[in-house]
Amino acid sequence: MNKNLQILGVAAVCLGFLSAVLCFLPYGLFLSLPTGFLGMISSTIYVYYDTKHQINTKKITPGIIGIILSSIPIISILIIIFMSKK
């Protein structure tokens, strides 16, 4: 179980990092949204299993880092929408 959780944590961080990098490329926002969605799902599963089995006792885990990185495309879309309203 611990090995699977470690693999899931690495996948969550990698997908989150990929979505954050794609977000800042020209026309990469369209690719970063599905990647961020997959990163958010894997991060949520990681946090669920980590909390259920109490494996990690640290405050900042790969699941939290993956959630933060995967939310960057959504935050950038919100910023674009609010800046275009003015």
Per-residue pLDDT, averaged over 27-53, amounts to 91
Per-residue pLDDT, averaged over 64-86, amounts to 91
Provide the residue range defining the domain that includes 66: 2-84
CB 61 within 8 A of CB 50: yes
40 has a pLDDT exceeding 90: yes
Report the number of distinct structural domains present in the chain: 1
- What confidence score (pLDDT) does residue 68 get? 94
CB 64 within 8 A of CB 20: no
Per-residue pLDDT, averaged over 22-32, amounts to 89
